[in-house]
Amino acid sequence: MIAYTRSGREKAALVDLLLPSEVSRSLFGFLPYHDPHFEEYLARAVGAAPESNRIIVLTLEDDALSHSDQLADLYDAYGSHVEIYRIISIDDHTFATAFEARPAGITARNAAYLKSLMGSHELRIRTNAGTDLSVLLDPKYQWISNRGSVRPGSFVILPAGEVATYAETISGRFVADGAMRVNVTHRLPSSLTDNPIEVEIENSRIIGYQTSNPVIHQFVADCLRRANVDRVGELGFGTNYGVRGFTSLNSHTNERAPGIHLGFGTPNQPETIVPYDATIHLDLVAAGGTVLVDGDCTIDLTNPALGDGITHPPLVRDQDVAGDCCARGCNLIATGVRFV
């Protein structure tokens, strides 16, 4: 079953073309955010499916995880017989690069990162562009691992490739020379390779920033005017080794590229653990870099040492489950708010 928004029609057609002829399939379009007919379309597509041991649902849309409640109802109806894959970046760059990385390879990288990072206390993060951050971690904050693997009852968010947590404190200089990603609709170019954003952070709050692009500068200012968007709500590391470069679109794929990203605003922890909220989640991405862990081992974010026999830890939030990518019950990655 392939469900797509208007912008996803071309990619849906390509997926349909690549499927073997013996695979039964149905396709339908839907409106993002709110579609009063979505449940009807979904029921019709499920009803048309032959009796089978597996129902695979693929949704394709730009910025949102729309209609998550209706899709999640399929788990109640069909249990482990249904798998739901949600592609939230449908640009050419994503399809040309991000899906080269297989779940097993991403899992190996995530496992290696988590082996070094979970239980650590101090990080020193540097990049060639000038990032120099001092980070203190606390084990009370959960780690999140997105790796493209199936877990019963959970959406598989694609493209995959990220480990992330919330830091007790972050201070220093952060140079976002990769891209920005924000949960509002906008038309600005998101790549920052030609116009990096340099951010000064003290005790997990932005105290200053600069960029040579006046339009981007104003956009960030508009974001920061909202409550708590100056707070670092996420510390993330991209682990999708297939992603090369950054797209100018407001794409989740930019976060998956090997490197570091800081999410400002909405934290990626439950409100019972981090008791503040924000209406904006602004991700700024830096390419590559190294992480010195507790003054001992160093992780090269571009070419990490994976080792042998490292298993993925079980006590980690294993996916961006049920559309809740920020742990705050969000059904939408994009809010539908338009800035520019």
Lowest-confidence region among 277-286, 289-298, 329-338: 329-338
The pLDDT value recorded for residue 319 is: 56
The pLDDT value recorded for residue 220 is: 97
Determine the Cα–Cα distance for residues 278 and 264; give it in Å rounded to an integer. 9
* Mean per-residue pLDDT, 32-50: 90
Determine the Cα–Cα distance for residues 61 and 89; give it in Å rounded to an integer. 7
H runs (alpha helix) in 38-134: 38-48, 68-78, 92-97, 103-117
The pLDDT value recorded for residue 340 is: 44
* Mean per-residue pLDDT, 269-279: 94
Q: Is pLDDT of 332 > 50? A: no
Confidence at 207, pLDDT banded by 50, 70, 90:
very high
The pLDDT value recorded for residue 284 is: 98
Task: State both tokens at 178.
Answer: 């990769």
Q: Is pLDDT of 6 > 70? A: yes
Query: pLDDT tens for residues 218-229?
Result: 999 999 999 999
Backbone torsions φ then ψ of 20, nearest 5 degrees: -60, 145
User: Concatenated DSSP letters for 264-299?
Assistant: EES-SS-TTTS----S-EEEEEEES-EEEETTTEEE
Q: Is pLDDT of 336 > 80? A: no
* Mean per-residue pLDDT, 188-211: 97
Q: Is pLDDT of 192 > 90? A: yes
Query: pLDDT tens for residues 22-38?
Result: 888 999 999 998 999 99
Residue 184 DSSP one-character state: S
Stated pTM of the model: 0.90
* Mean per-residue pLDDT, 69-94: 92
The pLDDT value recorded for residue 333 is: 40
- Vertex 156 angle, CA 154 and 158, to 5°: 155
